[in-house]
Amino acid sequence: MSRILTVGAAQLGPIQRNHSRASVVERLIVLLHQAADHGVQLVVYPELALTTFFPRWYLDDITEADHWYETSMPNAATQPLFDEAKRLAIGFCLGYALLETAADGTRHRHNVQTLVERDGSIVATYRKVHIPGHEHYEPDRPFQHAERYYFEPSSEGFGVWRAFGSLIGMMICNDRRWPESYRVMGLQGVEMILCGYNTPIHYVPDPGQDILQGFHNALVMQSGAYQNGTWVVGVAKGGVEEGVDSLAQSMIVAPSGQIVAQALTTDDELVVARCDLDWCAKYKGTLFDFDRYRRPEVYGRITSQRGVELPG
Nearer to ligand ING, 200 or 255 (CB): 200
The single residue of 47, 70, 191, 269 carrying the catalytic annotation is 47
The single residue of 70, 93, 173, 237 carrying the catalytic annotation is 173
Nearer to ligand ING, 198 or 230 (CB): 198
Q: How far is the CB of 185 from ligand ING (least distance, A)?
A: 18
DSSP E strands, 237-306: 239-241, 244-246, 251-253, 259-262, 269-276
Q: Can you list the alpha helix ranges (DSSP code H) found in 138-202?
A: 147-150, 179-186
The single residue of 93, 128, 191, 269 carrying the catalytic annotation is 128
| Contact between 94 and 78 (Cβ < 8 Å) | yes
User: Is 47 among the residues known to form the active site?
Assistant: yes
- C-alpha 114/C-alpha 233 separation (Å) is 15
Nearer to ligand ING, 166 or 198 (CB): 198
User: Is 269 among the residues known to form the active site?
Assistant: no
**DSSP β-ladder status, 251-253 and 244-246:** unpaired
**DSSP β-ladder status, 42-44 and 91-101:** parallel
Q: How far is the CB of 134 from ligand ING (least distance, A)?
A: 11
| Contact between 232 and 193 (Cβ < 8 Å) | yes
Q: How far is CA 123 from the centre of its chain?
A: 16
Closest-CA residue to 235 (of 15, 12, 42, 39): 12
Q: How far is the CB of 128 from ligand ING (least distance, A)?
A: 8
| Contact between 233 and 196 (Cβ < 8 Å) | no
Nearer to ligand ING, 8 or 200 (CB): 200
Q: How far is CA 129 from CA 20, 28, 159, 170, 198, in A?
A: 28, 25, 11, 11, 15
Q: How far is the CB of 256 from ligand ING (least distance, A)?
A: 24
User: Is 128 among the residues known to form the active site?
Assistant: yes
Enumerate binding residues for ligand ING (CB under 6 A): 132, 173-174, 177, 197-200, 203
Q: How far is the CB of 87 from ligand ING (least distance, A)?
A: 32
Nearer to ligand ING, 97 or 275 (CB): 97
The residues annotated as belonging to the active site are 47, 128, 173
